[in-house]
Amino acid sequence: MKTNSKIIIPFLVLILVFSCTKDETEKLITPESSTESLQEAPETIEDLNKKVFDYIISLGVKEEDIVELPEAYVAEGDIFFRKDMVVPPNRKLGEGLDDHLYTGNLVTYSRRRDIRVFVNSNMNTQSAEVNAAITLWNNADSHIRFRRVTSSPYDILIEAYNLGTGICGAAYTPSSGNPGNPVRINIPEVDEDNFAQRTVNIAHELGHTIGFMHTNGLSNNGPTIDVPGWAGADAGSIMNGSQCHDLSTILSARDIGALRSLYPNPHPTATSANIQTEYNEFRIAWTNTCTSCNHNAIENIVSYSGHVDNMTSFGGDVILSSSAVYYTVPGATPSPSSDGNYIQATVKRRCAHGTFAAQTITRYKSGGVWQ
């Protein structure tokens, strides 16, 4: 395995592309107006470039660490910002170095559950590593799911690309709600690494495609965009920069927490439940309507208690399949003439990530009428 004892350039190329509402444009006082009315000034290329430059500074990068190219600014040696990017407005800034950081742009809600990954044929030697990297993120129990595809359409292309000595990979970040595309892997640089290091290199780049920056902040000297609730150093983060060949090979607990903070699993919608009594039995029925978790619904859980004729009590808990839509309470036959019938039931639909859709209903007989 290579070491990075002599590597002085940061770990990975991060090419940022943003898509948000533009900042309010500068106003111009027109000489024709005696009342000094304000009009929008057309933005020049220089104006747009300066916005991007100022944005990089606002992320905490030192001015001396920014190099200008014809089409982009390069920060800290390997982080690329296109000059035509749209700077995200209203960023919530943190305090600085060693936090879980992100770009301010995320993959839109409708795209998170199925991010299609296509692998170029020039990456065939690391096909298994791509699969393992996808699994690392998918097993983190968030709303993000990568899925490998073998043809178009796809959201992310992973390709082999010669990025020069000391640089393991490169990636774009989310744009217009889409995941960053493409991901580029420097095969000659990582070829001598072991399987786990090659895997985490790809996983690191996939992290950039969903908006993560380097956790360790590199030469940060100012405000950054902290992942809410996950500020603080994390030596075990796979999103640390300047650690080519030496990254942790699993997502740290803080990586997972930051991922779930940005991409939380949705709470499933409520299950519409009722208690039917027309069959001379207590039948607890429900409609499986929690569409937000249908992809990974595991089971229905029914808890119930009550009494018949104010005398015979019953109760219990039962776990049913995710396809079940009713449960008949055993040994409880409500009397058609007595007001002493009562039942309370809670129906919960559990998703794989642990959230529940729950509804509690109560029925009792009063004046000969079910309430």
In which band, very low, low, confident or very high, does the pLDDT at 188 lie, cut at 50, 70 and 90? Answer: very high
| pLDDT, greater one: 126 or 13 | 126
d(CA 214, CA 217): 5
| pLDDT, greater one: 340 or 195 | 195
Q: Under CATH, what is the fold of the domain 13-262?
A: Collagenase (Catalytic Domain) (3.40.390)
How many residues are recorded in the chain? 371
- pLDDT of residue 154 exceeding 70, the answer is yes
Domain coordinates in residue numbering, the chain: 13-262, 272-370
At residue 227, what is the residue type?
V
pLDDT reported for residue 230: 75
Contact in structure between 185 and 158 (CB atoms under 8 Å): yes
pLDDT reported for residue 342: 84
In which band, very low, low, confident or very high, does the pLDDT at 339 lie, cut at 50, 70 and 90? Answer: confident
Out of 85-89, 187-191, 306-310, least confident range: 85-89
% helix, strand, coil for the chain, step of 5: 20, 30, 55
Question: Tokens 């009594």 belong to which residue?
Answer: 277
pLDDT in tens, 203-215: 999 998 998 888 8
Q: Which of 29-43, 81-95, 147-161 has the highest mean pLDDT?
A: 147-161
pLDDT reported for residue 136: 94
pLDDT in tens, 273-298: 788 876 678 888 877 654 555 445 67
**DSSP states of 105-144:** ----GGGTT-EEEEE-GGGGGGHHHHHHHHHHHHTT-SS-
Q: Which of 2-6, 72-76, 120-124, 206-210 has the highest mean pLDDT?
A: 120-124
pLDDT in tens, 35-53: 333 455 677 888 888 888 8
CATH architecture of 272-370: Sandwich (2.60)
| The two three-digit tokens of residue 144, written as one number | 């993000």
- pLDDT of residue 133 exceeding 90, the answer is yes
In which band, very low, low, confident or very high, does the pLDDT at 97 lie, cut at 50, 70 and 90? Answer: very low
pLDDT reported for residue 75: 66
Report the chain's mean pLDDT, rounded to a whole number. Answer: 75
d(CA 26, CA 40): 6
| The two three-digit tokens of residue 171, written as one number | 């990636």
Percentage of the chain exceeding pLDDT 70? 71
d(CA 161, CA 78): 14
Mean pLDDT for 295-306 is 77
pLDDT reported for residue 123: 95
d(CA 35, CA 31): 9
Contact in structure between 209 and 181 (CB atoms under 8 Å): yes
Handedness of CA 204, 210, 213, 216 (dihedral sign): negative
pLDDT reported for residue 103: 62
d(CA 255, CA 351): 22
Residue 284: how many other CB atoms lie within 10 Å: 23
| R_g over Cα of the chain | 28
- Taking alpha carbons only, the member of 262, 239, 292 closest to residue 142 is 262
d(CA 264, CA 260): 5
- pLDDT of residue 1 exceeding 70, the answer is no
In which band, very low, low, confident or very high, does the pLDDT at 181 lie, cut at 50, 70 and 90? Answer: confident
245: left (phi over 0), alpha (psi -120 to 50) or beta: left
pLDDT reported for residue 287: 73
Max intra-chain CA distance, the chain:
91
pLDDT reported for residue 31: 30
d(CA 264, CA 242): 28
CA 215 vs CA 6, 40, 103, 184, 242: distances in Å: 21, 39, 11, 20, 11
Out of 73-82, 176-185, 192-201, 360-369, least confident range: 73-82
**Which residue stretches of 69-125 are H helix?**
none
- Taking alpha carbons only, the member of 192, 177, 115 closest to residue 148 is 115
53 backbone dihedrals φ, ψ, rounded to 5°: -60, -45
Contact in structure between 365 and 340 (CB atoms under 8 Å): yes
Percentage of the chain exceeding pLDDT 90? 19
CA 321 vs CA 64, 194, 354, 357, 358: distances in Å: 61, 43, 16, 15, 15
